[in-house]
Amino acid sequence: MPSSQAVTAGNRLLASIPRKDREQLLAKCEQIQLTFANVLYRAGERVPHVYFPTGSCISLVTPIDGGASLEVGLVGNEGMLGIALILGVNVAPFHAVVQGAGPALRITVPSFLHLLEQSSALKRELKRYLYVSLSQLAQSAACTRFHVVEGRLASWLLMTQDRAHTDNFHVTHVFLADMLGVRRVGITKAANSLQNKKLISYRRGDIKIIDRVGLEAASCGCYRTDKETYERILG
């Protein structure tokens, strides 16, 4: 069983749960390593596990017209994958794709649901997290419609850095285009602009954040809104 102290530092959502309830949940969890680009489940499939990232991050991707796709959410150590279970729904609404490799805690759905029925504190915190997730989904939809690619890319990089806890990522133009729902040429222009401003370095899919303060200034307002919503509701 992972130690409660380690998880407190590793997953903020679990850290918000009272110690007794947290330790009961941890006793049913297993530590695993998530691999980049691995599909944990697809939209419409039954959910076999709940994931609590501790050093990894997972993209929530919605398929469009059977071919294209768009990232509508990102789960890292601030939350969990499988929140629809709190509504009594055991079907995935999105594809879940590992965006940042690293450790996570995993628990089977039957074990999770049993603990959910036993713990009012766990249920309360997850309902609050569900509210945050719904708010972020709405923000993501508005962002895709109204904000320019450069600002969206800056926000995406900041969100990824917050969840992956690293200044360095490996993501291709194709992956970024799929995540942001734009053409590759749009990603190239946006990345080159951020690089020319010396906010990032980008070479052959390797991105390094050089100036976080400058990148925040270049990002669209959605990044700040997402952070403020999380802090206001979950603290």
Over residues 176-226, the pLDDT tens digits come to 887 787 888 888 899 999 999 999 998 888 889 999 999 999 998 888 888
Q: What's the CATH number where 46 sits?
A: 2.60.120.10
Whether residue 111 is contained in a domain is answered as yes
Whether residue 143 is contained in a domain is answered as no
Quick check: 1 pLDDT over 60? no
Distance between CA atoms of residues 14 and 18, nearest Å: 9
Encoding tokens for residue 49? 């596990």
Q: Please tell me whether residues 172 and 113 are part of one structural domain.
A: no
Whether residue 141 is contained in a domain is answered as no
Whether residue 213 is contained in a domain is answered as yes
Whether residue 164 is contained in a domain is answered as yes
Q: Please tell me whether residues 11 and 114 are part of one structural domain.
A: yes
Distance between CA atoms of residues 23 and 17, nearest Å: 9
Whether residue 230 is contained in a domain is answered as no
Q: What's the CATH number where 196 sits?
A: 1.10.10.10
Over residues 19-45, the pLDDT tens digits come to 999 999 999 999 999 998 899 999 999
The CA distances from residue 172 to 97, 99, 187, 191, in Å, are 15, 11, 10, 11
Whether residue 139 is contained in a domain is answered as no
Whether residue 96 is contained in a domain is answered as yes
What is the residue range of 13's domain?
4-119
Q: State the pTM of this model.
A: 0.82
Tell me, what DSSP letter sits at residue 203? E
Distance between CA atoms of residues 103 and 170, nearest Å: 17
Q: Are the C-beta atoms of 223 and 159 separated by less than 8 Å? A: yes
